[in-house]
Amino acid sequence: MYLYAGVVVNNESFQVDKIFTYKIPENLLPKIKIGHRVKVPFGKGNRRIDGFVLEFYEECSNSVSLKYISDICDDFTVIRENDIKLIKEMRRRYLCTYLDCIKVFLPTGIIKGVKNKVKETILLGKNLEGKFLKDSYKAIYKIVEENNGVYSKTEISKKFQVSLSSINTLIKHNFLLTNKTIVNRYNSREYSDYNEKILNLEQQNAVNTIMGSDDKVFFIYGVTGSGKTEIYMNLVKNMIEENKECVMLVPEISLTPQMVERFKGRFGKDIAVFHSRLSDGERYDEWLRVKNKQVKVAIGARSAIFLPFDNLGMIIIDEEHEGSYKSDSNPKYNAKEIAELKSNIEGCKVILGSATPSIETYYRCLNKEIQLIKLTQRADGALMPDISIVDMREELMKNNKSIFSEELYNGINNSLVNKEQIILFLNRRGFSTFVSCRKCGYVFKCENCDISLTYHHNNYLSCHYCGKSYPVSKICPKCGSKYVKYFGVGTEKIEKEVKKKFPQARVLRMDFDTTRKKNSYEDIYNAFKNEEADILIGTQMVTKGLDFKNVTLVGIIAADISLNLPDFRSGERTFQLITQVAGRAGRGKKEGKVVLQTYTPDSHSIKCASKNDFDSFYEEDIRIRYSMNYPPFTKILLINFSSKNEDLLIKNIQNIGIILKNILKNNDKIEILGPCPCVLSKIKEHYRWQILIKGSFDTELALNIKDVVYKNLKDVYRDVKVSIDINPGNLL
């Protein structure tokens, strides 16, 4: 008999990140289960707070001083037993607390006390006939007779102008009854049918391979438009037939209304949709629908991976190369890693898909850790678009200083005349202040790290990997020209230019600013789909999953912007962005064309992307990563400090830097870089510094570093915030 429970309490403080032992009172013994949320007395004042039961024990050595669990909160368990294994692993791997991990498994609403939305309606009860009652009672009875189960008490009272207390009297004597019904807050809109397609040979082969193999992890590498979605839907159908459940992750659900349209159109409205823009109530309802086995399929952003399915057969991760699968707040998990951990625990299959694999995933495919499935043709027979590289240095020589090259300008004109649509893409990041020569394309880089230097306002350049700083030079060290400048152009500016040069065109802009309101993304998307505009200007958002038949021209305004981000993944990101955005062109019967503008036409990732040559790109990139000691050959641990008090911040991070260097000094497999200011050296009044540790280290060492950092920050933890991230998605 288990008399003791191991409980994690709902208290954010790092000091209480442990499993506390509580006694289980006799009345709860028959009911309590692992995974229950409970109320427990905590701290000196024995304040009652929430806790989560993670373990049971038969015995306990010093049980006398233990406190009792006060109560069980819900009539169901909020965490599954298998997920507790996952929680423990996540806490180690992502260097965070139990509570951080527990919280991702629960809809936020549950802790805040959100409940089912319940409506109490009034039904007819005992027969009134032959009873001597006042006419007013009879009138109410008649109203209910005509509206059985439709209205609540207050609604009846208001709508029909009758007394609430009379209704209560009738209820008391059972002439009327109350009935509780649960109102669902999820989207129950009907979608038009999305008919099944007959799979082509490549698609059928992918489905057969996955269904017929004992392997657990697969990667579907299919060119843009090869019909991966159709494969996913076929796999989901297979799973449903086997009575298993599926989760499909997409980069951010609100960004692909098309995907929801297709899935709901195929499988009916009974699939859960789970993403960050749902209200607490909506999340709670969707979570509960999964918990109560009312849905078999969920589609959502990365956090949908934690939904409480009990019989999971498959996790599909579309566009696996996307950075948004990595969380940048605690727990700083990577959904792809979670999928594989889940697969180990529960035996489900994991399907990754992309037209532009991440280097890490492809490396694992070649090492046979992941089964690779290739699709080489577009499903509807459309041709891959032709990509033409325009050297912007030559435009400058022709005295064309506008943001449009001649070729792009003519292309836009052409498409407008032919009544075809155009997408203009700008990978804008306001802080990507790299410095380059507009005459020869030279980019200022750190000699130690092969990373673009970042421009700082007090007129120096710095490498934010190793902290080395360089003077700003007004003259290009390569060609001697005076056209050295830092880059800065935004989507708004492009919109202005387009309107000036093509006043006849109808223009839409899709970026962070224009999509902040709840349905604005969908509105812009629909307007462009319905051909209410000719030109769509946008940031990364326009690179994802859009399937418009009338788009024949894609213009990439400045491919260099992502190429020169100070990040070892910048080459990979550039290759991906170019391929993805190019994939939006020529999806219908008409041929597509892409004009790619750049100052560095010889850059490896730009050249390979323009030829659709991932293999060559991969070979070169993996070689650089090997020689520079970057992942997948090593891990990166990023320790980030932030504070309003700059002196205090610097003093503490330098102190910790010295301690860590001491600990690691005899370990030649590990490099420690910094401390130095982050690329974004100040956000919202908070100064930011970082230490970067790079090398082959195991979880034990990472945990050790975490302990050292937190111990040394004990006295200033209110003023200096720390964040530790293992293999961060970006290093800004």
- State which residue, 222 or 308, has the beta carbon closest to ligand ADP: 222
Phi, psi of 595 (to 5 degrees): -110, 120
Residue 181: which residues within 8 A CB-CB, separation 6 or more?
118, 119, 121
Residue 245: which residues within 8 A CB-CB, separation 6 or more?
239, 296, 297, 298, 309, 310, 311, 312, 313
Please give the residues from 531 up to 570 whose contact with ligand ADP meets the rule CB under 6 A: 547
Shortest Å distance, C-beta 693 to Zn ion: 15
- State which residue, 162 or 466, has the beta carbon closest to Zn ion: 466
b/e map 356-391, b = 16+ CB within 10 Å: bbbbbbbbbbeeeebbbbebebbbeebebbebebbb
222 binds, among Zn ion, ligand ADP, none (CB under 5 to 8 A by kind): ligand ADP
Chosen residue from 8, 87, 290, 379 binding ligand ADP by CB under 6 A: 379
Kindly tell me the sign of the dihedral angle through the C-alpha atoms of 199, 204, 210, 212.
Answer: positive
At 247, which amino acid appears?
V
Does 101 carry a binding-site annotation?
no
Chosen residue from 77, 97, 121, 203 binding ligand ADP by CB under 6 A: 203
651 binds, among ligand ADP, Zn ion, none (CB under 5 to 8 A by kind): none
Residue of 616, 125, 27, 635 lying closest to 362 (CA atoms): 616
Residue 317: which residues within 8 A CB-CB, separation 6 or more?
248, 249, 325, 335, 336, 339, 350, 351, 352, 353
Does 678 carry a binding-site annotation?
no
449 binds, among Zn ion, ligand ADP, none (CB under 5 to 8 A by kind): Zn ion
Asked if residues 106 and 79 have their Cβ atoms less than 8 Å apart, the reply is: yes
Shortest Å distance, C-beta 608 to ligand ADP: 19
Q: Does 205 bind ligand ADP (CB under 6 A)?
A: no
Q: Does 330 bind ligand ADP (CB under 6 A)?
A: no
Shortest Å distance, C-beta 240 to Zn ion: 52
Does 463 carry a binding-site annotation?
yes
675 preceded by a cis bond (ω within 30 of 0) = yes
x/- string (CB under 6 A) for ligand ADP, residues 148-187?
----------------------------------------
- State which residue, 222 or 467, has the beta carbon closest to ligand ADP: 222
d(CA 420, CA 105): 46
Through-space distance between the first and last CA atoms of the chain, rounded to whole angstroms = 52
Residue 493 buriedness (CB in 10 A; 0-12 / 13-18 / 19+): middle
- Residue 29 CB: number of other CB atoms within 10 A? 11
Residue 80 buriedness (CB in 10 A; 0-12 / 13-18 / 19+): middle
Q: Does 464 bind ligand ADP (CB under 6 A)?
A: no
Among the residue ranges 134-142, 455-463, 653-661, 699-707, the one whose residues contact Zn ion (CB under 5 A):
455-463
Give the count of residues interacting with ligand ADP (CB under 6 A).
16
x/- string (CB under 5 A) for Zn ion, residues 338-377?
----------------------------------------
Q: Does 442 bind Zn ion (CB under 5 A)?
A: yes
- Residue 133 CB: number of other CB atoms within 10 A? 14
Q: Does 202 bind ligand ADP (CB under 6 A)?
A: no
Distance of CA 341 to the CA centre of its chain: 18
Does 476 carry a binding-site annotation?
yes
Does 60 carry a binding-site annotation?
no
- State which residue, 4 or 232, has the beta carbon closest to ligand ADP: 232
Q: Does 380 bind ligand ADP (CB under 6 A)?
A: yes
Tokens at 550, concatenated: 């009338």
Chosen residue from 197, 374, 590, 721 binding ligand ADP by CB under 6 A: 197
Q: Does 385 bind ligand ADP (CB under 6 A)?
A: no
Asked if residues 360 and 568 have their Cβ atoms less than 8 Å apart, the reply is: no
Q: Does 453 bind Zn ion (CB under 5 A)?
A: no
d(CA 574, CA 582): 12
Shortest Å distance, C-beta 538 to ligand ADP: 18
Residue of 362, 383, 379, 367 lying closest to 220 (CA atoms): 362
Task: Provide the pairing of β-strand 454-456 with 460-462.
Answer: antiparallel
x/- string (CB under 6 A) for ligand ADP, residues 206-245?
----------------x-xxxxxxx---------------
Shortest Å distance, C-beta 484 to Zn ion: 7
Place of tokens 């997408």: 423
Does 246 carry a binding-site annotation?
no
437 binds, among Zn ion, ligand ADP, none (CB under 5 to 8 A by kind): Zn ion
Shortest Å distance, C-beta 226 to ligand ADP: 4
Shortest Å distance, C-beta 361 to ligand ADP: 16
Asked if residues 217 and 371 have their Cβ atoms less than 8 Å apart, the reply is: yes
Q: Does 133 bind Zn ion (CB under 5 A)?
A: no
- State which residue, 200 or 371, has the beta carbon closest to ligand ADP: 200
d(CA 561, CA 312): 41
Interface residue list for Zn ion (CB under 5 A): 437, 439-440, 442, 446, 448-449, 463, 465-466, 476, 478-479, 481
Interface residue list for ligand ADP (CB under 6 A): 197-200, 203, 222, 224-230, 379-380, 547
Detail the residues annotated as belonging to a binding site for Zn(2+). Answer: 437, 440, 446, 449, 463, 466, 476, 479
Detail the residues annotated as belonging to a binding site. Answer: 437, 440, 446, 449, 463, 466, 476, 479
